[in-house]
Amino acid sequence: MSSENGLPVVDLSPFFAGDGDEGAAAARARAMEAVIEACKTYGFFRVVNHGVPRELLSRSLELSAAFFALPDEEKAKVRPLPADATPLPAGYHRLPSHSPDKNEYLLTLQPHLGHNLYPADPPEFRQALEECHAKLAQLGLLIQEVLTEGMGLPPGFLRGYTGGDRSFHFLLALHFFPAPTEAAGSTSGLSKHEDGQALTLLFQDNVGGLEVLKDGQWLPAEPDDGTIIVNIGDVLQVLTNKKLKSATHRVVSRPGRHRHSFAYFVNVDSDKWIQPLPEFTDKLGEPPRYRGFRFGEYQRLRLRNKTHPPATPDEFYNINHYAV
């Protein structure tokens, strides 16, 4: 595991090598160890040689920027209906002007579900979104298996939580508006938070702004062309009884610069019961740090943060709500 631009970097090429490749097993073991160590110490890492074409990443960012540059009335044509019955409201969303987070996004679900609202312009955007879904889904499955084996769990264990049809996995094409002034650059963008899902895969343009909190300091996750950033979410922190870290992070907008990124969320079925696993409690002689809960319940609590903004930090719902 090397470290460039602040975050650990893991080369995934050993997992794409054939079994007959000399030294492949040892290389895979080293890469697996690097992933687990990064998840323990940072909660974030970069991957290279990840199987997602660099051209797809750059083309998707360009098409996304072209879409978000359209007039508001054009983007509004792909807003979800109020009575949308899909697993998640696919389509265009813009946060209200009073929100501290200044951004807009297009949410798409797995294409095979048939729920997506695709923009008509630019016309190539739909194909790019569907290709991103396919490639990032494959990468998400690989990283789940790496984590499963690295944590000493049975093969396919994490996939049992995240669902075979990936109905609740979703992709966000994100647009962050420029910070209005130099002073505002430290607050606008995306407020500090942890991801509530299992995993997040992210790639970004050259503007930057993503920062990860480590040891009380904000560590910039600067752009690095062709790499994909991976971070674990609250679900894995609970399952491992806090052995793996769901890191706090934020996006700081730049004055005069629009930022574009894509985030693919490996989600959990809403009816899944989440609690610390025996492998990280009983078998280690350690008490559980969290009480169990249904994932859908936690989702509703997190949504309440947005629909009913808390008056004080103590009223903000996060995974500490279930802490023992």
Of 177, 175, 135, 146, nearest to 244 (Cα)? 146
Q: Residue 90: how many CB atoms within 10 A of its CB?
A: 21
Q: Considering all CA atoms of the chain, what is the largest pairwise distance in Å, rounded to the nearest integer?
A: 59
pLDDT for 269 equals: 87
Q: Peptide bond before 82: cis, by omega within 30 degrees of 0?
A: no
Give CA–CA dist 190/66, Å, rounded: 21
pLDDT digits (tens, 9 = 90+) for 130-175: 999 999 999 999 999 999 999 999 999 999 888 766 778 999 999 9
Is residue 29 a part of any domain in this protein? no
Is residue 192 a part of any domain in this protein? yes
φ, ψ of residue 81 in degrees (nearest 5): -70, 150
Is residue 299 a part of any domain in this protein? no
CATH at 239: 2.60.120.330
Tokens 């610069």 locate to: 257
Q: Number of H helices and number of E strands within the chain?
A: 7, 15
Is residue 201 a part of any domain in this protein? yes
Of 55, 92, 45, nearest to 71 (Cα)? 92
pTM of the full predicted structure?
0.93
Q: What total of structural domains would you count in the chain?
A: 1
Domain of 246 in residue numbering reads as 39-269
164 alpha-carbon distance from chain centroid:
19
How far is residue 234 from each of residues 83, 121, 187, 316, measured CA to CA in Å? Answer: 29, 36, 24, 15
Residue 177 CB burial class (10 angstroms; 0-12, 13-18, ≥19):
middle
Is residue 305 a part of any domain in this protein? no
Is residue 163 a part of any domain in this protein? yes
Is residue 107 a part of any domain in this protein? yes
Is residue 9 a part of any domain in this protein? no
pLDDT for 168 equals: 81
Query: pLDDT (tens digit, 0 to 9) for every residue of the chain, 324 residues total?
Result: 555 548 999 999 999 987 766 788 899 999 999 999 999 999 999 999 999 999 999 999 999 999 999 999 999 999 987 655 556 789 999 987 656 667 899 999 999 888 899 999 999 999 999 999 999 999 999 999 999 999 999 999 999 888 766 778 999 999 999 987 655 444 568 888 999 999 999 999 999 999 999 999 999 998 998 999 999 999 999 999 999 999 999 999 888 899 999 999 999 988 899 999 999 999 999 999 999 999 999 988 888 777 677 667 667 788 999 999
Of 138, 125, 158, nearest to 51 (Cα)? 138
